[in-house]
Structure 1
Amino acid sequence: MSIQIVVVFDVVPERFDMAVDAFGELARRTSEEPGALRFDAYVSAEKANTVVLVEEWADQNAIDLHMKEDCVRDFLAKVDGAFRGEPAVHRLSSIDA
């Protein structure tokens, strides 16, 4: 069974446009990785300065490999200091599971 994750980021308003660009690049690069079944970045229509990642991974190994990729290091360097607090990470379990 695949792994579903939703991550919510509260972005500092003055860094929002830059962060959105960085998230878009991260999503494009990540979607090409083996084991990345879905990696989509969204801007919240309900809450200002909020970015949401919706991810689906083949397995934990795919996540572990992703976290070591250059695209993750590049992303983290670009968005350093752009978030208010830690992102809210939600690893999901199906109700029907």
Structure 2
Amino acid sequence: MSTLKIVAKFVVTPETKQAVIDAVIKCQGPSRAEEGNNYYDLTESINDENILVILEEWKSQEAIDFHNSTDHFKELIASVTGKADVTIDVLNISN
């Protein structure tokens, strides 16, 4: 069985950092409650305070697809657009 991990990296500015954190936190609870989510955690780089990373683990691609269709995810994307440079990596982890 494999799981999918997502590493979403947000490069922010000091002026936009709190708005991005607030948007992620607003999305975090509903995302954690979704069927198929194992975890959804916001972290901050210890090397650069302007790098935030969401670490996620999902049971399937279908769970990710559902997550990406939710209102709280769409609201997160709208809230961070223009406030952060975002890169997303999806990793297939075989157990």
- TM category (shorter chain) comes to 0.7 to 0.9
Aligned length: 94
Secondary structure of 1:47's aligned partner: coil
- The aligned runs of 1:1-97 (5 Å cut-off) are 1-84=2-85, 87-94=86-93
C-alpha distance in 2, partners of 1:8/1:41?
Answer: 10
C-alpha distance in 2, partners of 1:91/1:32?
Answer: 20
Q: Structure 1 segments of 4 or more deviating over 4 A? A: none
TM-aligned CA deviation for residue 93 of structure 1: 4.3
Q: Which runs of 5+ in 2 are unaligned?
A: none
Q: Which runs of 5+ in 1 are unaligned?
A: none
C-alpha distance in 2, partners of 1:90/1:79?
Answer: 17
The two structures have a TM-score, normalised by structure 2, of 0.87
Superposition RMSD in Å = 1.7
Relative to 1, partners in 2 of residues 1:77 and 1:93: Cα closer, same or farther, differing over 3 Å?
Answer: closer
